[in-house]
Every structure is written in structure tokens, then in C-alpha cells.
């Protein structure tokens, strides 16, 4: 009932994506991560700090007329690895997707260390961050091995 | 093992076996015996940053074993200055050589080069990252002095923040159950992620600013230079320059078998009065760079070092 009530805090969407179970307070980061914070071409609804049985409290985002791509899902894993995603078509859930960080984040984000070899934008090998822990999420650059500051990392999206 | 980028590329058994090879190669390194194990092989020396000992000892090692060397030369006159990427430079040298030794100012460059290359890469230093071939010669010198690598108390002193030699060495020593004392000014402490890594591997690590007060516990004191070139700010360098100056009179209470190592060059952190004490080992250590790199070149090129070498009763 709580979940249903939460979903009705904003109007149902006809087509688009619902991102649920975002850790409380992280929704604005998710918008930034998906480059939706300055995008005025699609309607975005956002609820923050609503009650959740699973998480205590959570954020939810609804994006109209847009279905998230795999590369966007990979990005999302950086701030909301446990979120759930529903693709909505004609007011119904057409697909449920999960974010899966895997063992490595490849070509999603650039290492935050200013002296890493990957700072040269002309170097062609892929940007690779290894997942060394999932809880809390800890990432290290494959090349320079520096641990990554997650708050800084979202500004380094490719 | 393809290349040697960090000490994680070697198991403890690999380390022991390479040090054994190095021991047998001593008469070859001294020029007493000629053993052309690497005849027909070419080493590419890619030093994008200044180097004296590492570059020269790689070159000597290759030539003592009958191999040949091609050099990148001065970076200012190479294609790097024209904006060539590391990837492209490696593609080119990869085609010319059988193995590459490289030093680069950017951290992670050696791993990047290994991902781009077909031939093995020997990391001769990547920014403030790793310097595993230096670690192998350090371990060889420690084993020569103490007959073992196990369970020693080692002080690492000076610039622990930017000093890549101490980063690689501390990771290796912990694997042999050594107790580590990190002595540095606050500004130049060992990076916290490295200390955390070492502790996760069960290391007994002490961090202190007091070098002299701990010398009596040490089996090895590993001094390092405070590297002016790593500081963006001259004032920051001035705050820590000359923080440690080891003098012969500071060694009165040291264990008799304690040895002092230094990757060199030194500035003023070891006074020349120490050179003539029984503790000084840094010049032998520099010579050992040749023999350790000979053993590594053979290992990465899959060339077996003979069990017996003429004149090899060193």
C-alpha cells in the first residue's frame, strides 16, 4: 500500500521509465548522471524521501517518453546500484530492468586521479574502473589503481 | 606472468626463484663470466622521465647477457613532443623489440602500456605509483644482508607519499611477514589507501615522524630522497626539505647487522659519514640493480638461467 501510495504522489505516465528504490537523497545525483538535470525536452517527476518497506525511505524518478539505454543503466549503478527500473508503455509495465554493476565499469566514467594516464583524452584504450567492494561501493582505476571518490566521479562521466 | 607492472604480478615463490637466479648471475653481472643467454633479443628502453640507475642498469643487464638495447632517447627530440599518444609509441616499439622497460611520469602508464603491447613490459616507475624492478633489487640486497626476507623490522623513511619505491617495497615486505615502521613528515605520509591495503593483508604497520627514536629496533632502514620535482608548490617543498639527515653518530644504538638502503640519488638525507659504517649498503644495492634486472629479463623472456654458471660460487 505504501508503495502504491508513493507511486501516486505524482501522476502515472503513459510511456517512459520509472526508476524506483533510489537511496534517499540521491535522486538529484541520478538526474545529473542521466543528463536530465538541464534537459527541458522531457517531463521528469521526482519524489524524495518517501517511506519504503525495503529501504526505510527512498527516492523515485519518472521520466516521460524516454526509455533508458544499457549505457545509462551502467551509469546509474554508480549511485543507485540497487534501484529497480520499469519501462512503461501505454500505462503498463512493459519491462522490468535491474542495474548490474558487474566486476568492472568500462567506458562509462573517467578516473578521478589528475595524474592518471587516462587523463589524456587522445589515449584510445577504454576507461576501466574495477569494482573492489560493493557495500559500500568501492572502485579503483584499472591503470593507476587509485580508489575513486564517488561524489567526484559523477562529474567525470564520458 | 606477461610483464611486471606491480609486485602483485609475482608470487612469493616467483620472488624467491628470481632472487636465486640473480644470485647465480652475479659473476656475469660483474663481468667475470660471459653468458650470452639473451643473444638476438632486443630491449626497448622507454624512459619518458629522467633516469640514471634504472636505465643504465637495464642496459648493462641486457648487454652482459649478450642482448641489445634500443633507446627512446631524449623525450624532447622524440615523437612524443609532437603529441604522439603512449598507445601509438608502444605500438611502434612493440614491433621493434622483444621486451620493453619503461618509466613514465603518469601513474598507470605501465599497466596501460602492457594492455597495448604484445611484448612484456617492465615497469621502471609510473608517476608516484610502482617501481617493482627496484623492489626486486631491494629484496635481493636485504636477503644478501640478512640471509632471509622473513620477519624483519624495516623502517621506510622520508618521502613516503610520492616515493614509488617505498610503495612497491612495502607491499612486498608485508608478504614476507615483515614489520613496517613508516617515518615521514606529516605532509609526506604513506597514502592512506596503501596503509589500508597493507593492514587488510595483516601487516603490522606503525606510522611516526620520529626516525632516530626507532632506529634501534630496525633490521633495515630504507631512506628516500624528498623529491623536489613532485611538488607543485615550492613553499610546500621548503617545509619538508631536509626533514631527515642520518649521520654516523645516529647509529650508535643500532643493531650491529642493521643495514641502510637508499634507491639513490641522495641529497642530504644520508651524511657521507655513514658511507664508511658497516651499515651502509646503498652502493651494493645500486650494483644489484644489474643482477636483479638480468634475472627479470630472463624470466620475462622465458629464458632459463642455468643451475650452474662457471665462476658462480659467489
- Please tell me what DSSP assigns to residue B280: B
Residue from B28, B220, B23 nearest B137 by CA: B23
Residue with cell 642530504: B268
Are B86 and A124 in contact (CB < 8 Å)? no
Quick check: helix, strand or coil at residue A105? strand
Please say if the pLDDT value at position A81 is more than 90: no
Q: What is the pLDDT tens value at each position of chain B, 314 positions in all?
A: 699 999 999 999 999 999 999 999 999 999 999 999 999 999 999 999 888 889 999 999 999 999 999 998 777 777 777 788 999 999 999 999 999 999 999 999 999 999 999 999 999 999 989 999 999 999 999 999 999 999 999 999 999 998 889 999 999 999 999 999 999 999 899 999 899 999 999 999 999 999 999 999 999 999 999 877 767 778 877 777 878 999 999 999 999 999 999 999 998 899 999 999 999 999 999 999 999 999 999 999 999 999 999 775 54
Per DSSP, what are the bridge partners of residue B46? B102
Are A113 and B87 in contact (CB < 8 Å)? no
**Rounded to 5 degrees, what are φ and ψ at B64?**
-60, -25
Identify the pLDDT of residue B136. 98
CA B106, B88, A125, B168 dihedral sign is negative
Per-residue pLDDT band for A36 (boundaries 50, 70, 90) equals confident
Chain A residues lying within 8 Å of B121, measured CB to CB: none
Identify the pLDDT of residue B137. 98
Please say if the pLDDT value at position A140 is more than 90: yes
Does the predicted TM-score (pTM) go above 0.90? no
Are B86 and A120 in contact (CB < 8 Å)? yes
- Please tell me the distance in Å from B24's CA to the nearest CA on chain A: 34
Interface test with B, best of A113, A115, A133, A141 (most B CBs within 10 A): A115
Identify the pLDDT of residue A10. 67
Q: Where are the domains of chain A?
A: 2-98, 104-156
**Rounded to 5 degrees, what are φ and ψ at B31?**
80, 15
A104-156 fold: SH3 type barrels. (2.30.30)
Per-residue pLDDT band for A4 (boundaries 50, 70, 90) equals low
Question: By the CB < 8 Å criterion, does A130 face chain B?
Answer: no
Task: Assess contact for B240 and B185: CB atoms under 8 A.
Answer: yes
Q: At B276, list the grid cell.
A: 664508511
**Rounded to 5 degrees, what are φ and ψ at B171?**
-60, -40
Burial B224-238 (b: 16+ CB within 10 A, else e): bbbbeebbeeeeebe
CA–CA separation, B281 and B142 (whole Å)? 9
Average of pLDDT values for A10-16? Answer: 85
Indicate which residues of B carry an active-site annotation.
Answer: 53-54, 82, 103, 131
Are B106 and A119 in contact (CB < 8 Å)? yes
Give, for B207, the enclosing helix (H) or strand (E).
strand B204-208
- Please tell me the distance in Å from A130's CA to the nearest CA on chain B: 14
Chain B residues lying within 8 Å of A115, measured CB to CB: 105-107, 127-128
Give, for A95, the enclosing helix (H) or strand (E).
strand A92-98
Average per-residue pLDDT for chain A: 87
- Counting other chains too, the contacts that B185-191 makes at CB distance below 8 Å and 24 or more residues apart are B185/B209, B185/B239, B185/B240, B185/B243, B187/B161, B187/B236, B187/B239, B187/B240, B188/B158, B188/B159, B188/B160, B188/B161, B188/B162, B188/B226, B188/B240, B188/B243, B189/B160, B189/B161, B190/B156, B190/B160, B190/B161, B190/B166, B191/B161, B191/B167
Are A120 and B105 in contact (CB < 8 Å)? no
Task: Assess contact for B223 and B158: CB atoms under 8 A.
Answer: yes
Identify the pLDDT of residue A117. 96
Task: Assess contact for B212 and B251: CB atoms under 8 A.
Answer: no
Please say if the pLDDT value at position A9 is more than 70: no
Residue from B297, B256, B271, B265 nearest B283 by CA: B265
Interface predicted TM-score of the whole assembly (ipTM), two decimals: 0.89
CATH class of A2-98: alpha beta
Quick check: helix, strand or coil at residue A85? strand
Domains (range + CATH), chain B: 7-131+287-300 (3.40.50.1370), 132-285 (3.40.50.1370)
B254: alpha, beta or left? (left if phi > 0; alpha if psi -120 to 50): beta
Ordered DSSP codes for B28-94: HHTTSS---TTTT-EEEEEESS--SHHHHHHHHHHHHTT-EEEE---GGGSGGGGT--HHHHHHHHH
Amino acid at each position: 500500500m505504501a508503495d502504491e501510495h508513493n507511486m501516486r504522489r505524482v501522476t502515472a505516465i503513459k510511456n517512459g521509465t520509472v526508476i524506483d528504490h533510489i537511496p534517499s537523497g540521491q535522486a538529484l545525483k541520478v538526474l545529473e548522471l542521466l543528463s536530465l538535470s538541464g534537459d527541458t525536452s522531457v517531463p521528469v517527476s521526482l519524489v524524495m524521501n518517501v517511506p519504503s518497506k525495503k529501504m526505510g525511505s527512498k527516492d523515485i524518478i519518472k521520466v516521460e517518453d524516454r526509455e533508458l539505454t544499457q549505457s545509462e543503466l551502467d551509469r546509474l549503478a554508480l549511485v543507485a546500484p540497487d534501484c529497480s527500473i520499469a519501462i512503461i508503455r501505454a500505462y503498463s509495465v512493459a519491462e522490468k530492468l535491474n542495474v548490474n554493476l558487474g566486476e568492472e565499469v568500462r567506458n562509462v566514467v573517467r578516473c578521478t586521479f589528475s595524474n592518471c594516464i587516462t587523463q589524456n583524452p587522445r589515449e584510445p584504450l577504454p576507461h576501466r574502473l574495477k569494482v573492489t567492494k560493493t557495500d559500500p561501493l568501492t572502485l579503483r582505476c584499472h591503470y593507476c589503481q587509485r580508489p575513486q571518490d564517488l561524489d567526484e566521479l559523477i562529474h567525470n562521466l564520458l | 606472468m606477461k610483464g611486471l607492472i606491480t609486485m602483485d604480478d609475482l608470487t612469493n615463490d616467483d620472488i624467491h626463484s628470481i632472487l636465486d637466479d640473480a644470485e647465480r648471475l652475479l659473476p656475469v653481472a660483474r663481468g667475470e663470466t660471459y653468458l650470452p643467454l639473451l643473444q638476438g633479443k632486443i630491449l626497448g628502453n622507454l624512459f619518458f622521465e629522467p633516469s640514471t640507475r634504472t636505465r643504465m642498469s637495464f642496459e648493462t643487464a641486457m648487454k652482459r647477457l649478450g642482448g641489445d638495447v634500443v633507446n627512446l632517447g631524449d623525450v624532447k627530440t622524440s615523437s612524443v613532443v609532437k603529441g604522439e599518444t603512449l598507445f601509438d609509441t608502444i605500438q611502434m616499439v612493440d614491433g621493434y623489440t622483444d621486451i620493453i622497460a619503461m618509466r613514465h611520469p603518469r601513474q598507470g602508464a605501465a599497466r596501460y602500456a602492457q594492455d597495448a603491447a604484445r611484448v612484456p613490459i617492465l615497469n621502471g616507475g609510473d608517476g608516484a605509483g610502482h617501481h617493482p624492478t627496484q623492489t626486486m633489487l631491494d629484496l635481493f640486497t636485504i636477503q644478501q644482508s640478512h640471509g632471509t626476507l622473513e620477519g624483519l623490522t624495516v623502517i621506510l623513511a622520508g618521502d613516503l607519499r610520492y616515493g614509488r619505491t617505498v610503495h612497491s617495497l612495502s607491499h612486498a615486505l608485508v608478504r614476507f611477514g615483515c614489520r613496517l615502521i613508516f617515518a615521514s613528515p606529516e605532509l609526506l605520509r604513506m597514502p592512506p589507501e596503501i596503509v589500508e591495503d597493507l593492514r587488510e593483508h595483516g601487516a603490522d604497520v606503525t606510522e611516526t615522524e620520529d626516525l632516530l627514536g626507532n632506529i634501534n629496533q630496525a633490521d633495515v632502514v630504507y631512506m628516500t630522497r624528498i623529491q623536489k620535482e613532485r611538488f607543485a608548490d615550492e613553499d610546500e617543498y621548503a617545509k619538508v626539505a631536509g626533514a631527515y639527515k642520518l649521520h654516523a653518530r645516529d647509529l650508535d644504538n643500532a643493531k650491529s647487522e642493521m643495514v641502510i638502503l637508499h634507491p639513490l640519488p641522495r641529497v642530504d638525507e644520508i651524511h657521507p659519514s655513514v658511507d664508511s659504517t658497516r651499515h651502509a649498503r646503498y652502493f651494493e644495492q645500486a650494483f644489484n640493480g644489474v643482477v636483479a634486472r638480468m634475472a627479470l629479463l630472463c624470466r620475462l623472456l622465458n629464458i632459463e638461467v642455468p643451475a650452474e654458471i662457471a665462476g658462480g660460487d659467489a
